Amino acid sequence: MNRFTIPALLLLITLVSCHPAKPKLFDPSYVRFEATYNPYLENQFYPSLVMGVASLTDQRFGFNDTNALFSVSVTAPASNSVLRITIDSSNLNYVTIFQEVLPVKDIRYTFHPSVKWKYDQLYKIRQQGTTDLTFTCYINDEEVDIKNVRINYRSANDCLLSIIDADGRFHDFRWLFAAYVNEEHPFIDSILTDIMQQGVISRITGYQKDAQSVVSQAEAIWYYALERGITYSSISCTSTPTKRATLQHIRFFDQVYHTRQANCIDACVFFASIMRKIGLKPVIFVEPCHAYLGYYTDSRRRTLRLLETTITSWADFPALTRNYNETIQRNPDAKGSDRISKGMNTKYTKYLTPDQRQRWENGTLSFTDFKRAVAHSLFQKATDYDLDNYKNNRKYFSDPTNPTYQQLDIELLRKTVQPING
């Protein structure tokens, strides 16, 4: 037999359901809980900014109180009350808990909670989207209020260039280019193996030897890029997601590797990543809608060499090699300039010295040496290409008040900007 009769059970349910709820100790209208996204960013969330400064400890963003992206504000309802903020999980972040003591009643407090981001997911973002982050406020373990903050996230390839704040002040973010330089990328080890097998250099020594050995190592990277077929691919210089911000799309190291396409900044990032891996000190020079690479030939930064990385597009070594192999298959007895088509021959022999051209034509210059001679000539052109421009603008690069020209020393920036990793 059941312990309770049906009428008794209904009476019990009625008594329980009518039990008055425990009154809240803290009035939400008094606490006035607010959760806001950084107003300078106009609801735009930049994964590259978060990943690039994940280990940041100073105000490196360029203006005050932007080290944390979110602000929460409350009025203390009682002295020494305990504030706890929870941020629910989303496609961008894990559950985050932030806790502080509010010492004095009636005082308005503002904090900047650090969000536990899903860095591996941020790296994979390639398209714009929108998400809501839910902030719940607790005082002394009592839930007081809930706020939702909607943000529009950008692709991880979108690099923030600049922001003009509400007072009309310009804030430069192009130091974030350093985050796309990734000397830690796992592809680089195999690339270095390929470089050694190509035979341009016999050893990778960094700064252990003289300046010429450093230049030779840079040229070996250059030759690898030509053999890989890295070509220039122009994309829009900047975009304007908001009225006050400008961006630039930057390809990651593996994207340049796979697509074999790069614009000026992409190629600088690609070369600088490999240079950093072997211990060299690269510098990226940024001008209006253009960037070119520099590197020091000594560890003390006394001598600088330049490199216009987009000149890799002046030669297509993979196509040249295919053309050469197809010609040999059709005509095994071909010699010298007959080993490639007339159009190919004309395109590349202009980069040879008279002696090299003669040797190529009479068949005493091998195809490998032919390519190395062309690569060396283009390397020299890439070295000299921006020299006059650099000399004319050197005073602007050294002027910290001129945001249009930037000299980004990757090693120095590593103190605050880390590589973006997937």
- Is 173 in the same domain as 44? no
- Is 373 in the same domain as 238? no
pLDDT in tens, 114-129: 899 999 999 999 999 9
- Is 276 in the same domain as 165? yes
Across the range 362-366, mean pLDDT stands at 92
- Is 239 in the same domain as 355? no
Residue 420 domain flag: no
DSSP collapsed to 3 states, the chain: CCCCCHHHHHHHHHHHHCCCCCCCCCCHHHHCCEEEECHHHCCEECHHHHHHCCCCCCCCCCCCCCCCCEEEEEECCCCCEEEEEEECCCCCECCEEEEEEECCCCCEEEECCCCCECHHHHHHCCCCEEEEEEEEEEECCEEEEEEEEEEEECCCCEEEEEEECCCCCEEECHHHHHHHCCCCCCHHHHHHHHHHHHCCCCCCCCCCCCHHHHHHHHHHHHHHHHHHCCEECCCCCCECCCCCEEEEECCCHHHHHHHCEECHHHHHHHHHHHHHHCCCCEEEEEECCEEEEEEECCCCCCCEEEECHHHHHHCCHHHHHHHHHHHHHHCCCCCHHHHCCHHHHHHHHCCCCHHHHHHHHHCCCCHHHHHHHHHHHHHHHHHHCCHHHHHHHHHHHCCCCCCCCEEEEHHHHCCCCCCCCC
- Is 198 in the same domain as 92? no
Among residues 156, 173, 194, which one ends one of the domains?
A: 156
- Is 368 in the same domain as 262? no
- Is 217 in the same domain as 128? no
Q: Does 137 or 174 have the greater pLDDT score?
A: 137
Domain residues for 350? 317-378
pLDDT in tens, 224-240: 999 999 999 876 555 56
- Is 181 in the same domain as 228? yes
- Is 274 in the same domain as 401? yes
- Is 363 in the same domain as 397? no
| Whole-number percent of the chain with pLDDT over 90 | 74
Could you give the number of structural domains in the chain?
A: 3
Residue 277 domain flag: yes
- Is 356 in the same domain as 299? no
pLDDT in tens, 238-265: 556 677 888 999 999 999 999 999 999 9
Task: Say what the pLDDT of residue 25 is.
Answer: 86
Task: Say what the pLDDT of residue 1 is.
Answer: 44
- Is 152 in the same domain as 164? no
The CATH number of the domain holding residue 264 is 3.10.620
Task: Say what the pLDDT of residue 57 is.
Answer: 47
Q: Is the pLDDT of residue 209 over 50?
A: yes
pTM of the full predicted structure? 0.88
pLDDT in tens, 163-182: 887 788 888 888 999 999 99
